[in-house]
Amino acid sequence: MNSEHRAAVIEILTRHVGREKAIGMGELYERVWGKPWKHRINDTRDLRYLITDMRYRGVLIAEVRGKTGAGYYLARSEHEIRTFLDKRTAEGLKKLKMVAAMRGKSLPEFMGQLALSFTAERAEGAEKA
């Protein structure tokens, strides 16, 4: 994955703005890499990593998930990005709740421990600098 692939994703997604214009992962992969995929999960892994990296860089790439189809698109409105982010937040909290339960903690208790752990790690890193 390189800046050429990143630029291709942006260029393609500029024609897929808004949820109703989402482009399927397979089609996006084929257009970015210039070759067909054979195994939907394994062959498109690089695309999923690239999309994740771009999101960490602040690119507002949202997605549609569903049994009838899925795809990526550039969020057109505050509502679209908020809907996407709210779903991702709920997914993350659900996973954290499971981890907390497996550790025998309530979610608020576990979150407090995580916050303390991150604070301690930052302080430790600052001491080493």
Q: What is the pLDDT of residues 1-40, one digit of tens each?
A: 588 999 999 999 999 999 999 999 889 999 999 998 887 7
Cross-strand bridge partners of residue 74: 17, 61
70 pLDDT above the threshold of 70: yes
- What pLDDT score was predicted for residue 125? 66
Please tell me the class of the 3-76 domain: mainly alpha
Q: Model confidence at 68, in pLDDT bands (50, 70, 90)? A: low
Structure tokens at 62: 């949202």
Over residues 70-79, mean pLDDT: 93
126 pLDDT above the threshold of 70: no
Alpha helices in 37-77 (DSSP H): 40-43, 45-56
- What pLDDT score was predicted for residue 43? 79
* E strand residue ranges, 13-120: 61-64, 71-74
CA angle (17, 42, 69) in 5-degree steps: 40
Q: Could you read off the pLDDT of 41-61 as tens digits, one per residue?
A: 777 889 999 999 999 999 999
